[in-house]
Structure 1
Amino acid sequence: MQSADAMFQHVFRNFGLPEDIVSDRGSQFTSRVWGSLCARLGIGVSLSSGYHPQSNGQAERLNQEIGRFLRSYCSREQHQWSEFLPWAEYAQNSLIHSSTGLTPFQCILGYRPTLFPWSGEPSDVPAVEEWYRLSQEVWERAHVRLQRAVRRQRIQVDRRCRPYPSYQKYSLKSLCIADR
């Protein structure tokens, strides 16, 4: 029931109940309890194939991006990677996705939220100022690195693209004559 509680605390209460959950074959997602809970809530369960991560491509791709960010950002501070994970997620959710032209925030919320008011008035509380300074630094580095990763991916994809073939314009009448 820990998985059910975690899903409620972090997903269901913010986004509602999903129609379907795609997950790996971890024991928490294949248990009788999980299956019964999903059935009771009317949620379909789709299990990805073992040793075939492509069946859950979107999540795997996002995990690669977040992993790349964490490796580049936390290379000197590997023991603190979990502290940077929310910032990586925040930065990722604020990037415009090429297929939709929208940020994930816009797709989920319907609008693009204000990210951070970095130009606000300084606080006279040192702990607040320190948090604010560190947060601004992490956010800026996270955002820059994710944008850099997006540009690198675009370059890689563009290298493999071929120009469209040129087509001849034919009329239906000329095609019928050529078939005789």
Structure 2
Amino acid sequence: GTPAAIVSDRDPRFTSRFWKGLQNAWGTRLKFSTTFHPETDRQKEWTIQTLKDILRSCALEWTGNWDEYFCLMEFAYDNSWHASIKADPYELLFG
């Protein structure tokens, strides 16, 4: 589904007129993280590193056709415990 909100570090990809129009059409709110806020940066970098690790592991395991297993990677991430929210994303979304 469509996200209720997008958190951005003021990246022009999210602040351009095109994206603002798309967010208005979807009813998505744009939230900005605090500039140079170490806690926000750490959280973002941790998430990116986790996703890279998942992709790297799957690419090594399923060489040549790892993209066919993308749904399994998404499932694994969505059903993993996240300390920042004290739950897994799937549980928060669907109960």
Q: Which TM-score band applies after superposition, normalised by the shorter structure?
A: 0.5 to 0.7
Alignment of 1:71 with 2:92, yes or no, is: no
- Find the counterpart in structure 2 of residue 44 from structure 1: 30
Gap runs ≥5 in structure 2? none
**TM-score normalized with structure 2 length:** 0.61
Matched, 1:97 2:82: yes
* Distance change in 2, residues 1:82/1:58 (3 Å): farther
How many residue pairs get aligned? The number is: 91
Contact kept? 1:22, 1:48, Cα under 8 Å: no
Q: In structure 2, what is the equivalent of residue 139 of structure 1?
A: none
8 Å contact kept, 1:94–1:105: yes
Give the Å deviation of 1:90.
0.2
Q: In structure 2, do the counterparts of structure 1 residues 73 and 31 end up closer, same or farther at CA, with 3 Å as the change threshold?
A: same
Q: Does 1:108 align with 2:87?
A: no
Structure 1 portions without partners, runs of 5+: 1-10, 111-180
Given residue 74 of structure 1, which amino acid in structure 2 is its aligned partner? A
Match for 1:108: what amino acid? L
Deviations along 1:137-169, one digit per CA (max 9) or x if unpaired, are: xxxxxxxxxxxxxxxxxxxxxxxxxxxxxxxxx
Higher Cα radius of gyration: 1
Runs of 4+ aligned structure 1 residues displaced above 4 Å come to none
